[in-house]
Chains A and B, each alone.
Chain A
Amino acid sequence: MRAALLSLLALAAPAHADELLGAILKRLAEPNVVRAQFVQERTLADLERPSVSRGRVTVSREQGVLWRIESPVKMTLAFGPQGIVQTGADGVRRRQAQRRGAVETETARLMQAILGASEESLRATFDPQAAGSVERWTIRLAPRARETARYLREVRLGGGSRLETIEIEETSGNFTVIRMRQVAVADRLEADELELFKAP
């Protein structure tokens, strides 16, 4: 009886986890545009102490992810379908990746997959495992392709009604934690935000 129950549980568990993931992502993907403040802490082997940066993030389901760092340096990274457009402190826009398949394009996809909460693109890159409840959850993302696994060990997402934390663990030992707050939703991007996605 106990064995039967256990095997039932074993069967039920992944189905349940998949359902949970679906429910979480569905909820995350509801708004067209999400804006938030973030604090990022990167722990790199070659740094004396972790680097802390602050800024705003905008996630658009259609356009991609806008990562606007305000301190300690001003820089905007627009992760769009065509790659990364970087706008430096000098206001000059640079396209980082023009070639499909390049690392930058892949990381752009990665950021969009993580922040955009699209189940399809998430599954294309990772094996996602959800745990917890719809109200308080974590998702572990293990890279599927060996190309990504070469430099990325795991990404962990956590949150409730909105995405709250992102932890990125690189194979080099580098570790990044991003915390988001003051989350607000909107219907569309502002014109100046759209501008930042455009290749120079």
Chain B
Amino acid sequence: MTLRARSGLFLAALAVAAAIFAGVAARGVPLQTNVLAVLPATERDPVAEKVVASLSTAIGSRVILLFSHPDEAKAKAAAERFVAAAGDAGGLRVTARLPEADPRMLHKLYAPNRFGLLSDADREALASGRWRVRDSVLQQIVSPVGGIAGLPLAQDPFGFFGRWMASLLPSAGTMRLEDGYLVSRDGGRTRVLVLGEVDGDVYDNAVQARAIAAYERGARAALAAEPAAEILRTGTVFFASAGRAAAVSDMDRIAVGSVVGIALLMFAAFRSLKPIVLGLLSAGAGILAATLVLLLVDGELHLVTLAFGASLIGEAIDYAILFCAAHLAAGSRWTPQAGVAQVRPALTVAVATSLLAYGLLGLLPFPGVSQVARFAFVGLIVAYLSVQWLLPGLMTRPSPRDPAAATGWAARLFERWSGVLSGRRGAIVAALALLACVPGWLALAPNDDVRLLVPRQPELQMQDAAIRSITGFDAGSRFFLVRGASEEDVLVRETALTRRLRELEAAEALAGHQAVSDFVPPRAVQQANRALLEKHVFADREALTRTLLEVGLRAEAAKALPAEFAGGAKPVTVADWLASPLSTPFRHLWAPAGEGVPASVVLLIGERDAARVAQAGAGLDGVTLVDKAASVSRLLGRYRAWAVPGLGAAALMMLLVLLVRYGARAALAVLLPVLLAEALSLALFGYAGVPMTLFGVVGWTLGLGIGVNYAIFLREGIDRPGATAMAVMLSACTTLLGFGLLAFSGVPALRHFGLALASTIAGSLLFAPLSVFDKK
């Protein structure tokens, strides 16, 4: 096959791939923006994982808005305007005014079973033995507000039922319920709470866009009507969409910055546009192939993979650079066959070491990280093949430039720098550099917080904090999962938990909670309550009736009560509660893992002391705190710890390849520059106070694979040292432009990755002459 035919075939294959990609893209590229999706399942317990999955949508879709205005009516008007306009837009369901709970529904569900329902305080009072029929009913009668919101005196003469019902009311946080509005007043402003829910998965691009558009439309309408109103907002959707915007703008910046920078550099070096075109073609072939393969295999592409893919241009283009440098170096003696033969050994060693490093990453059990590694794997192999099969056919004519003049500057620069690092001086510099690293290494501190995956959004975080302090509500995501052998078992275990939570609420460590057992006490508790009433209230029915008559109750009422107690003994069940419309807002709390698994969820509202709340479940059977963020952080920590020795393993693997090719002494010399660079990079993190994260370790692993290439290129050489030096410098600079820009990303994880990689690359370039110490 001729060179041209092979190139043509390769181009045709690329065209087919592009057509398939266009077909896939036309249906919309499935892009996963949920940063947590990079991570594997966190819960070892499959039920917990299932609950996390089913609840995270419900919890994540919440939004909380706060409208404030000096004038109360105008604050409410602004909130109503918002609700109307945002509701019309669709995508966001918001309510300013909570629906009124119908007292008749409460009575229908509970009143027939009221002798089994007691508030904690009343249960304690009865059990203490100090409770007296006469005092209790008199207190209810003479208190100016006694029984004001409950059943008539005859049905609830001691106020037991009224107080139990009061305990059912949802917590209003620090707000007050007025006319269905949750309101607070302070600092001369009235604040009105608006609660909402996003329609659909908040990480879905279209859902997000619709919800944000609805919010913006509502906010515009509210501010147009009441210009002095202020709006605060919080909710996962706002953070996710801002995070997405930041990641997309990072990607744009990195892609544009690297393409423009690389093009300018290449033009300066080669004085021709052809190497740029060939370089981009080679890198583009790699990226196209990798994107297509992963889309077909995985079904979706993660945003992180794409961000990384944009940076991969920097590495893939190195192969083309070396080829073009060989072309320039050969001058008029150029033939494509000889050119390919000249660069093949260097490229093969380079690609072999890189694939080993990436392959190791691919073994990490993070779906996202392994996708990144597979992306790199496919992309680099295709770029490597394109240099051998595509580029020769497109570069048949020799360069018209004088090779000595074109590469002289690089040769001189390299010569001078090699001189600095030659012989004993090189060893001294290396030793001093390592010595200077020590304090930096000692200052290294790990950080595995999952929030590193999310860009910092100070303005949104401020609003979130303001809403939390004003309302006592938050859009937190932790909850307790309670499991048991049966419905009763779950309720009993839940009660043990909610008792502790109530103590925390009294101590203001927690604003509130939602639990099914608050609405449906366990059967055992209902029976115990009834037994308490039997013992302390209804034991002597005649005496009871007498007392009731004495304090002034009508005769028929006084007689009806004991009869009614004797009549009804049917406890309220979860099924009764589920059948009542009252349970509608809380149904997701029950059987979250499906009908067959007796389990419930206890939601936490407004955690102020997270550590104490987390302790609430300690030692309770069947109770687990589900904290996705903490689980993920722990997991990140485990993998970071695992990845550090992995870095050493990757270096060893590369050493194996190098040993085969160069023998012991030279192999160590080839590896030395990149190892020094990694040492310096680690110290830099320590000195700069940048935490050591899994993402940094990933950057160092990739840096190891790329950085060693420069030493390999220099070691293998092409026939003119200046041309090799130029290729190495160009390669390093293009990689710095590609990855280095990630160091300025708003996403801490990408920033750490970029910083680790860029510093490793820069160091590898600086120390590269050490690899050819014996070739002088």
Contacts and interface: CB of A to CB of B under 8 A. Distances in A.
Contact of B557 (A40, A46, A150): A46
A111 B144 CA distance: 9
A151 B179 contact: no
A170 B153 CA distance: 13
A102 B552 contact: no
Contacts of B584: none
Contact of A147 (B125, B174, B177, B555): B177
Given A94-B125, A124-B185, A111 B145 contact: yes
Interface string A45-74: 111110101000000000000010100110
A145 B144 contact: no
Interface in B60-117: 100, 103
Contact of A99 (B149, B152, B167): B167
B554 A46 contact: yes
B537 interface: no
B152 A152 contact: no
A89 B167 contact: no
Interface in B124-159: 125, 130, 132, 134-135, 138-139, 141-145, 147-149, 152-154
Interface size class of B (residues with CB under 8 A): 35 or more
A102 B169 contact: yes
B167 A102 contact: yes
Contacts of A144: 178-179
A103 B553 contact: no
B144 A67 contact: yes
A36 to B, nearest CB: 14
A69 B142 CA distance: 8
Interface in A105-146: 106-107, 110-111, 124, 144-146
Contacts of A189: none
Given A46-B153, A46-B557, A48-B552, A101 B176 contact: yes
B190 to A, nearest CB: 9
A104 B141 contact: no
Given A47-B552, A102-B169, A146-B180, A96 B163 contact: yes
Contact of B139 (A75, A103, A174): A75
Interface string A68-87: 01001101010000000010
Contact of B142 (A73, A95, A103): A73
Contacts of B148: 103, 107, 151-152, 170, 174
A44 interface: yes
A161 interface: no
Given A73-B139, A144-B178, A44 B153 contact: yes
A92 interface: yes
Contacts, number: 129
Contacts of A152: 148
B290 to A, nearest CB: 56
A100 B174 contact: yes
A101 B171 contact: yes
Contact of B135 (A46, A51, A89, A170): A89
A152 B148 CA distance: 8
B260 interface: no
A7 interface: no
A107 to B, nearest CB: 4
B121 A100 contact: no
A147 B179 contact: yes
B506 interface: yes
Contacts of B35: none
Contact of B166 (A48, A89, A104, A111): A104
A102 B170 CA distance: 8
A37 B555 CA distance: 32
Contacts of B502: 98
B512 interface: yes
Nearest to B97: A146
Contacts of A172: 152
A98 to B, nearest CB: 5
Contacts of B403: none
A32 interface: no
A25 interface: no
Contacts of A102: 166-167, 169
B142 A98 contact: no
Given A46-B554, A100-B172, A51 B166 contact: no
Which has the most chain A C-beta neighbours within 10 Å: B174, B179, B557? B179
Which has the most chain B C-beta neighbours within 10 Å: A46, A53, A103, A150? A46
Interface in B282-302: none
Given A101-B171, A146-B179, A151-B149, A48 B553 contact: yes
A107 B171 contact: no
A90 interface: yes
Contacts of A104: 166
B522 interface: no
A53 B552 CA distance: 13
A196 interface: no
B177 A51 contact: no
A90 B505 CA distance: 27
Given A75-B142, A102-B166, A103-B169, A88 B180 contact: no
A197 to B, nearest CB: 16
A72 B551 CA distance: 9
B533 to A, nearest CB: 18
Given A46-B554, A100-B174, A77 B154 contact: no
B177 A47 contact: no
Nearest to B138: A73
B175 interface: yes
Contacts of B309: none
B440 interface: no
Contacts of B172: 100-101
Contacts of A45: 152-153
A77 B143 contact: yes
B141 A44 contact: yes
B173 interface: yes
A92 B139 CA distance: 14
A147 B178 contact: yes
Nearest to A77: B143
Nearest to A38: B144
A174 B147 CA distance: 10
Contacts of A151: 148-149
Given A94-B121, A100-B173, A101-B175, A150 B103 contact: yes
5 contacts: A75-B138, A99-B171, A147-B100, A150-B149, A172-B152
4 A-B pairs with least C-beta separation: A101-B172, A73-B138, A53-B142, A145-B178
Interface of B: 100, 103, 121, 125, 130, 132, 134-135, 138-139, 141-145, 147-149, 152-154, 162-163, 166-167, 169-180, 185, 472, 502, 505-506, 512, 551-555, 557
